[in-house]
Chain A
């Protein structure tokens, strides 16, 4: 066992204690976590106030509306906010995007003269912040090809340009409504869509609010986490095995340990790598959930099941990768064998929308009991289901999962002990089957 652990430690150190790994698997998630933490203050501090005087050449009623809008809160995002689930709408990050009063010291005045060229020169010289030309036709209700024109200095920021053009457009619309005798604010209130809450009624008399996020995004996040953690380390296992074959160091190792000890050590070492990746990306995801105040959407039982399915998924992927790595001499040769394996393992992505929509449907049930899809599909089912997946199905999937792991380890070991000493042309799938028989 000590030799296996020696191999495992070298495998872990060789993979996880490199600059590339530290950046990809440690720094990146930390940056992601940091992003959630620092983005709110950044969003608050990066806005420069809009200061100065803007002249408007156009109808007086438009100028009046524009003057009043400058002092109002920006409601442009309000409608989008209204459509968000309540749980997200309360989030501090989303709160940072919430409409707020513009930080401005802006004066809107009627243009002192009508010569546009003189007015443009005054803007160019810095006498005014901008010039807005609102033709009378544009305020009339009939369709017109005439456009609003805004002239600003070269250094005027794009964000402030957006504010100016947006407020002017809204002011024109309000002016149109007022000319027809309507109250724009009343119309906005009347046309705002009401918020809806869907509540699921369980047989046991309890009620639970339906949450679209919980049913769609969280299952996908769990499956992605499983994928990233297992496939990244699986890929490392593949490349280190090929590297050892390429370096011709394999025979030296086999003079000291058996192929099974070597395989066991490599798989164990990469399990550590996989766990580090899982922890790092899992922490980033957790930080995201914290930020969105969604932590209570994930019950502890889901985390326990996730851990179990992670073990099953890791060993399934690791055995596939180790078998392929041992059978080929070049990374490019591995692609031909990886193809069929990837085709099968990509299925969870294809089935995700169906399964998250009908987590207890027939397709979901069958797929979640079919190796090697079990861990990926089952974690989607468990986290997407509004009702607990039947306990017998969970137990059966775990049972089949671990039995499959044993079978795959056995097959991998037989391929590994033949493959690691083979050089040259990569074997076909049929030859791999023969190796399993011979091994």
Chain B
């Protein structure tokens, strides 16, 4: 399989802050790759370097067999910071960006309404961008990023700021583009989004890669340290059970996740739980990407850093 993006030993600093450190990355063509990490991990900086918007201090970047400057017309990019020309009409804005991507001619004007229909924004082409809501503007910008049918699509936090309905619409279009064979790299700090649609993930923390692989292989790598229990008595506390580090209720369900201490085994904890109280169900949980990531942070930077990341994910 050929590589769409290849980064070798990339580093980038801003003053004393090391944003990206010695990062190696390979994204195969045709993959749907999630680029994950908490805020400030270095995702946007890496993407900007891939796009040749900023330049790496060291290392090499190969995009579609060349560099992004030469391949700009083959790349669709939705930056983290959304922006449109407020006074411009929607169709003119999309047309302008498409022109800059090397797409001209009357066919362009024909496909704009079809695409607007596809992202569920019908009849807005003659409206000024400032007349649209923020979410609608974001969809317009997404369209501007993909209308020239690029081989590689890079989306920086594509769902942030979108309501669930619009996030689903954009998610479907992203999936369709992937099915058409386009390589998609999208960054997010909300890991479950990536878990749902990506076939491959890359996690970075403090500018360093901490995980890289397919979701299933990563999940297999990590020992499940969580027991998921649905107790009959919903108000019961599990914190006193030997081997349980802490318990976390799962939102909108009656289930509780029990984090297992390092010195305990999942089987022992499972047996103690069943003996402790009647349960409807009790099983070893598959680790989520959040949990895997937090565990990686804990391994690399210690428990305090992991707690900070956990807090950030809970607030996201």
Give chain A's interface residues, CB within 8 Å of chain B.
3, 6-7, 10, 14, 244, 247-258, 421
Contacts and interface: CB of A to CB of B under 8 A. Distances in A.
Given A3-B100, A251-B53, A251-B79, A256 B72 contact: yes
A252 B83 contact: yes
Given A10-B96, A256-B101, A251 B72 contact: no
B81 A254 contact: no
B53 A254 contact: yes
Given A255-B77, A256-B72, A249 B85 contact: yes
B83 A250 contact: yes
Interface in B61-118: 69, 72-73, 75, 77, 79, 81-87, 96-97, 99-102
Contacts, number: 59
A251 B52 CA distance: 11
A248 B72 contact: no
B232 interface: no
B76 to A, nearest CB: 8
Given A6-B96, A255-B72, A247 B51 contact: no
A376 B99 CA distance: 38
A382 B48 CA distance: 50
B235 to A, nearest CB: 48
A13 to B, nearest CB: 9
Pick from B79, B83, B84, B100 the residue with the most CB of A within 10 Å: B100
Given A257-B72, A258-B69, A252 B79 contact: yes
A248 B97 contact: no
Nearest to B86: A247
Pick from A7, A254, A255 the residue with the most CB of B within 10 Å: A255
A421 B85 contact: no
Q: 7 smallest A-B Cβ distances: which pairs?
A: A248-B83, A249-B83, A256-B100, A255-B77, A251-B79, A248-B81, A247-B83
27 contacts: A3-B99, A3-B102, A6-B99, A6-B100, A14-B85, A248-B79, A248-B81, A248-B82, A249-B85, A250-B83, A251-B48, A251-B53, A251-B79, A251-B81, A251-B83, A252-B141, A252-B144, A254-B53, A255-B51, A255-B79, A256-B72, A256-B73, A256-B97, A256-B101, A258-B52, A258-B69, A421-B48
Contact of B100 (A7, A14, A247, A248): A7
A254 B79 CA distance: 10
B54 interface: yes
B64 to A, nearest CB: 14
A21 to B, nearest CB: 13
Given A3-B100, A247-B86, A251-B48, 9 more contacts: A14-B87, A248-B81, A251-B53, A252-B83, A252-B97, A253-B100, A255-B53, A256-B100, A257-B72
